[in-house]
């Protein structure tokens, strides 16, 4: 037989003294633990901040059947299949590609001068005096796909019970999470809300304090006092030149002070039940709307980075919005059509636990102008892209060594 330490015996005897009611009092109902004991009774030492004893989910219907053995962890509920396989019945008419704007030599030089002026160590002489030898106009395609989805998760939750009606399971059957109506505030923006599933609430004794609504103060460990930091527990303080001492003014010579948190009572209000001794357990439904976005850039002439094309504006030549959009099979550029089909296929399999509410995609044409120049027997190339006419000149001839390229 295992030996029992004296500390364990002391804690057990303390537990019996703390929760045993007065023998002269009449017997009370089992659910009135808080009224049986005084608010100053010390809670059992064995009580810790574990999960409450929640109702079992076996044999339950609706939302209760979705809760696993880890009750306080969120469980994702896949949407019904019939609501996530809708296809758009028709394809939106696509207009032909517009003509890209052509920059003149004067406009190209002005764009370069404007960019050079933003760098204090760049010389303007090269931009002003260079000879422009060739101007090539091209376009870049920026395809963007957005899929707006809804995800629902359930988990057990609890909060302090302050009285009032309780929507208990015996009042009705809890609905399936996807049967609870809810609409997003707006499409293609991220939102999240939390709801209580009807007919899942129950009242339980607080699992932290055991019912009294109070627990040992964590600051003073239930003693009601703490170490005086002013006199370091000596109860005295030194006078001038350390020739004599007197009682500490902060603890009046005791070396101890009342606990600032519990006021010397050794007990503090339980934060879990807010002093009521009871908690209300229920199933919480979390609805999260997410906008998943992917894109693809097609640019063949200037070899600009994709991020540069993404960060400028262009002309939208194709835009569709449906429950589920179709690939751009008839787009003039085959690379864009292939990217559209690939991204749509990826989105169709990337969110199995989410319901697709809306999809939209668009194609923007970004103008790109490549300019070749000659200055002091040096040849170079710079690019102008986007409606903002941003400039990328990696080999601009008049730069300072301490500055970065454009």
**pLDDT band (50, 70, 90) for residue 267:** confident
Q: Name the strand (E) or helix (H) holding 319.
A: strand 315-322
- Measured CA to CA, the distance from residue 295 to residue 143 in angstroms comes to 5
Whether the per-residue pLDDT at 293 is higher than 80: the answer is yes
* Nearest Cα to Cα of residue 97 among 145, 139, 146: 139
Whether the per-residue pLDDT at 192 is higher than 90: the answer is yes
pLDDT-above-70 percentage for the chain: 74
* Nearest Cα to Cα of residue 60 among 189, 200, 246, 185: 200
Question: How far is residue 80 from each of residues 152, 191, 282, 322, 402, measured CA to CA in Å?
Answer: 12, 21, 24, 19, 60
Residues 314-349 have pLDDT tens digits of 999 999 999 999 999 888 899 999 999 999 999 999
Cα 359 vs. chain centroid, distance in angstroms?
23
Whether the per-residue pLDDT at 30 is higher than 70: the answer is no
Judged by DSSP in three states, 134 sits in: strand
Determine the pLDDT at residue 61.
52
Phi, psi of 143, rounded to the nearest 5 degrees: -95, 130
Q: Hey, how many other C-beta atoms are within 10 angstroms of the C-beta on 181?
A: 6
Query: What tokens does 230 get?
Result: 């002013």
Determine the pLDDT at residue 391.
96
- Measured CA to CA, the distance from residue 297 to residue 317 in angstroms comes to 15
- Measured CA to CA, the distance from residue 44 to residue 208 in angstroms comes to 10
Q: Which residue has the tokens 């199995």?
A: 352
Contact 63, 74 (CB under 8 A): no
Determine the pLDDT at residue 73.
78
Q: Which residue has the tokens 């007065």?
A: 22
The arithmetic mean of pLDDT across residues 344-363, rounded, is 96
Contact 167, 203 (CB under 8 A): no
* Nearest Cα to Cα of residue 248 among 233, 258, 264: 233
Whether the per-residue pLDDT at 177 is higher than 70: the answer is yes
Q: Hey, how many other C-beta atoms are within 10 angstroms of the C-beta on 320?
A: 17
What is the C-alpha radius of gyration for the chain, rounded to an integer number of angstroms?
36
Beta bridge partners of residue 323, listed in sequence order: none
Quick one: 3 exposed, middle or buried, by C-beta within 10 A (0-12, 13-18, 19+)? Answer: exposed
- Measured CA to CA, the distance from residue 396 to residue 29 in angstroms comes to 88
Determine the pLDDT at residue 3.
46
Q: pTM for the whole thing?
A: 0.74
- In 197-308, the DSSP E strands lie at 202-205, 214-216, 225-227, 236-238, 245-247, 256-258, 267-269, 278-298
Whether the per-residue pLDDT at 56 is higher than 90: the answer is no
């Amino acid at each position: 037989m295992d030996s029992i330490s004296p500390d364990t015996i002391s804690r057990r005897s303390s537990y019996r003294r703390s929760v045993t009611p007065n023998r002269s009092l009449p017997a009370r109902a089992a659910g009135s633990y808080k009224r049986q004991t005084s608010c100053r009774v010390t809670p059992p030492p064995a009580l810790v901040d574990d999960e409450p004893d929640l109702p079992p989910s076996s044999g339950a219907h609706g939302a209760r059947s979705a809760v696993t053995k880890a009750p306080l962890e969120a469980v994702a509920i896949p949407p019904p299949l019939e609501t996530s396989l809708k296809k758009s019945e028709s394809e939106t008419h696509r207009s032909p590609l517009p003509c890209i704007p052509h920059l003149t030599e004067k406009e190209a030089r002005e764009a370069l001068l404007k960019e050079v002026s933003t760098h204090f160590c760049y010389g303007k002489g090269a931009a002003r005096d260079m000879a422009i030898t060739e101007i090539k106009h091209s376009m870049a395609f920026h395809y963007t796909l957005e899929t707006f989805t809804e995800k629902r998760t359930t988990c057990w939750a609890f909060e302090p019970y302050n009285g009032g009606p309780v929507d208990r399971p015996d009042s009705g059957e809890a609905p399936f999470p996807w049967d609870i109506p809810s609409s997003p505030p707006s499409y293609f923006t991220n939102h999240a809300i939390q709801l209580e599933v009807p007919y899942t609430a129950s009242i339980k004794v607080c699992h932290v304090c055991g019912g009294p609504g109070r627990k040992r103060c964590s600051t003073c460990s239930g003693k009601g006092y703490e170490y005086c930091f002013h006199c370091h527990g000596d109860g005295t303080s030194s006078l001038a030149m350390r020739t004599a001492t007197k009682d500490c003014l902060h603890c009046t010579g005791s070396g101890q002070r009342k606990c600032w948190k519990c006021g010397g009572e050794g007990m503090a209000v339980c934060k879990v039940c807010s002093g009521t001794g009871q908690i209300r357990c229920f199933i919480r439904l979390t609805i999260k709307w997410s906008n998943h976005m992917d894109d693809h850039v097609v640019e063949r002439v200037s070899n600009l980075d994709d991020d540069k094309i993404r960060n400028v504006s262009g002309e939208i030549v194709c835009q569709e919005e449906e429950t589920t959009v179709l690939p751009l099979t008839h787009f003039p550029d085959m690379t864009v059509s292939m990217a559209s089909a690939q991204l749509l296929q990826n989105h169709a399999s990337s969110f199995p636990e989410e319901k697709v509410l809306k999809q939209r995609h668009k194609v923007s044409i970004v103008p790109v102008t490549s300019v070749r120049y000659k200055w002091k027997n040096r040849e170079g190339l710079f690019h102008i892209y986007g409606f903002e006419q941003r400039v990328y000149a990696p080999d601009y001839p008049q730069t300072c060594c301490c500055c970065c390229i454009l």
